[in-house]
Amino acid sequence: MEKRIIGLGVLFGGLGGLLAFLFARVLAEPVMGRAIDYESGRDDAQMALEKAAGHGMDHTQDVELFTRTVQSNIGLGFGVIVFGLAMGALFAVVYTLALGRVGRLAPRPLALLVAGGMFLALYAVPFLKYPANPPSIGHPESIKERTGLYLLMMLLSVVLLLAAIWLGRRLQARLGNWYATLVSAVAFVVVIAVVIALLPSLGHLSVDKAYGDFATETPQPLTDPSGRIVFPGFPADDLFYFRLYSVLAQAILWTVIGVGFASLSTRLFGRDTVRGETATAPLV
């Protein structure tokens, strides 16, 4: 049974990754292309300013191992699909552990709740604090700090979600399902809000004057010594749409995993079990 669950999880993870890639290729990839062009133009403007100031530096350009066409098609597709496969396998493991151990939930609604909870904890909540930036946009010297903060936010999100589930189970006998769920959800939101407020923002990591006088993660307008703008800041519209498409791509992935697995749960457990007509003891 466990192998069949993992197999289905990987299957729908790969399918979700494929659909997420197609979505990203059509909508998000053009924004990424403009971000890369922006970085190139800004670097040229920065070099011109340094040269005019008489202290030009040797800017060695990185060798491009793969063309933009390869990166935006094969590279992006491979990365997103492999990520989907991994998330599908992880979903299957979590689903197997939760089956029969989280109340009298039938396998079908449990699949939807597990997929929704993983989307919430692994992406949506961390995104609220540390939203995604297009490639090449962000201070290059803060990559390690940014990655560490994001992983910390993800870990705290997962731990707090598990704690909220535990709290709901503890309160269930006293308050009933509805109020126990409501109290645990409110507690999760409150604690997450405190965590978001306490964790440092990414802006404090941007210390390069080339990124502007204000502590922001995305580049501000580049100015010469007289204060005249010689290169604009990163377009706000591109930043907004890239983040929107990032959320939607993740939503597509987790929707396919959850809905797809729930739709085929009858083949794993039988129709009566899926409808909740039999006992919900652990089935694996």
Report mean pLDDT in 10-residue bins for the chain, 284 residues: 86 95 91 84 79 61 54 75 95 89 78 94 93 73 80 95 91 86 94 93 53 54 77 84 94 96 79 47 36
Q: Does residue 259 fall inside a structural domain?
A: yes
Same domain, 28 and 101: yes
Q: Does residue 221 fall inside a structural domain?
A: no
pLDDT reported for residue 281: 37
Same domain, 118 and 32: yes
Number of domains in the chain: 2
User: What does DSSP assign to residue 217?
Assistant: S
Same domain, 152 and 107: no
Residue finishing a domain among 189, 205, 221: 205
pLDDT reported for residue 284: 34
Q: Does residue 220 fall inside a structural domain?
A: no
Same domain, 151 and 130: no
The alpha-carbon radius of gyration of the chain (Å, integer) is 23
pLDDT reported for residue 220: 76
Domain that holds residue 153: 140-205
Same domain, 29 and 94: yes
Q: Does residue 217 fall inside a structural domain?
A: no
pLDDT reported for residue 30: 87
Same domain, 40 and 72: yes
Q: Find where tokens 């197997």 sit.
A: 96
pLDDT reported for residue 217: 63
| Separation in Å, CA 134 to CA 57, 234, 239 | 26, 10, 7
For residue 138 the two structure tokens come to 């962000």
In angstroms, the CA 162 to CA 166 distance is 6
Same domain, 44 and 124: yes
Residue type, 93: V
Contacts of 108 (CB under 8 A, 6+ apart): 262, 265, 274
Can you name the residues that pair with 231 across neighbouring β-strands? Answer: 222
For residue 274 the two structure tokens come to 């899926």
Q: Does residue 283 fall inside a structural domain?
A: no
pLDDT reported for residue 128: 92
Q: Does residue 223 fall inside a structural domain?
A: no
Q: Find where tokens 């609220």 sit.
A: 128
Same domain, 39 and 81: yes
Helix (H) or strand (E) holding 231: strand 229-231
